[in-house]
A = this chain, B = another copy of it.
Amino acid sequence: MDGLDRKILTELQLDGRLTITELASRVQLSVSPCHRRLRDLESSGAIRRYRAVVNAAAVGLNFEAIVFATLRWEHRDTVATFETAVEAIPQVVQAQRLFGEPDYLLRVVAQDLAAYQRLYDEQLAKLPGVQRISSTLVMKHLIEDRPLPH
């Protein structure tokens, strides 16, 4: 992992569909070594995958919320049960477990406020092991999917 590899990663974070030819010219390398490096980055797991970034509004998802959840500590498997239940909700597009309060942060999308209310009442509020759950609406995205810094 040297400067060239990092440069390749940066370019591919900006445009994941770059051709090897174009990528090679951007990082000032010829095609074959660039191709070799890319293959190594992919097989070593440095590049986890490629993804199209889809405009949520284009698929009718105009509503986004952040959910804060804190668990009760009942059993050893409170965590596992909760996490399984979260993973089963497709509207949860991002979820992380934190140290401290809250225990979990979820990013949830829905079609509109009504759909979110249904989702909240029927699924989020019923998640197992939860002591306290609250949610707030996302007003705006400042930064989304920015390339990792050096």
Contact = CB atoms under 8 A, between A and B. Distances in A.
Interface in A25-62: 41, 44-56, 58-61
A93 B54 contact: no
Tally of this chain's copies: 2
Contacts of A96: 66, 138-142
Contact of A51 (B90, B91, B137, B145): B145
Contact of A94 (B1, B16, B145): B145
Majority DSSP secondary structure for residues of A touching B? mixed
A86 interface: yes
A44 B58 contact: yes
Contact of A17 (B17, B86, B140, B149): B17
Size bracket, chain A contacts: 35 or more
* From A15, A55, A60, residue with most partner B Cβ within 10 Å: A55
A138 to B, nearest CB: 5
B142 A86 contact: yes
A76 interface: no
Interface in A89-140: 90-101, 104-105, 109, 136-140
Given A51-B53, A92-B143, 14 more contacts: A1-B59, A16-B51, A16-B52, A41-B58, A47-B55, A54-B147, A61-B148, A61-B149, A96-B139, A96-B140, A97-B141, A98-B136, A98-B138, A99-B137
